[in-house]
Every structure is written in structure tokens, then in C-alpha cells.
Amino acid sequence: MPHAQRYPGVNVNALAPVGPGSFDPVSTMSQLTGIPVEVTALP
């Protein structure tokens, strides 16, 4: 938790898809793996 407390406001839910296709139809669990992101170096 110390890392999360140092960087408030970061939220994986902002990246996660919503709506049809965003959950597993058999288990009805959210699919939160494989969220594409782009990482770039700061200048």
C-alpha cells in the first residue's frame, strides 16, 4: 500500500473496457488481463 498511497488517483478501472465483451460470459467475471498500454520515456 505505500506505493499506492504515494501515487493517488491511479485507477486500473479507467483503462478497463466496459459493456458487452468486457466480461467472461461463463463466469461473468471481469476480464482485466491484457489491457493494452503504451509506455514512453519522459523527456
Confidence of residue 41 (pLDDT cuts 50, 70, 90): very high
The tens digit of pLDDT for each residue in 16-40 reads 778 887 888 888 887 766 778 889 9
Q: What does the pLDDT read at residue 11?
A: 79
**First-to-last CA distance in the chain?**
29
Asked if 4 and 10 count as a contact pair (C-beta separation under 8 A), the reply is yes
Q: What does the pLDDT read at residue 40?
A: 94
Q: What does the pLDDT read at residue 4?
A: 78
Question: Has residue 42 got a pLDDT over 80?
Answer: yes
Q: Is 12 helix (H, G, I), strand (E, B) or coil?
A: helix
20 vs 15: CA distance, rounded Å: 16
Question: Has residue 2 got a pLDDT over 90?
Answer: no
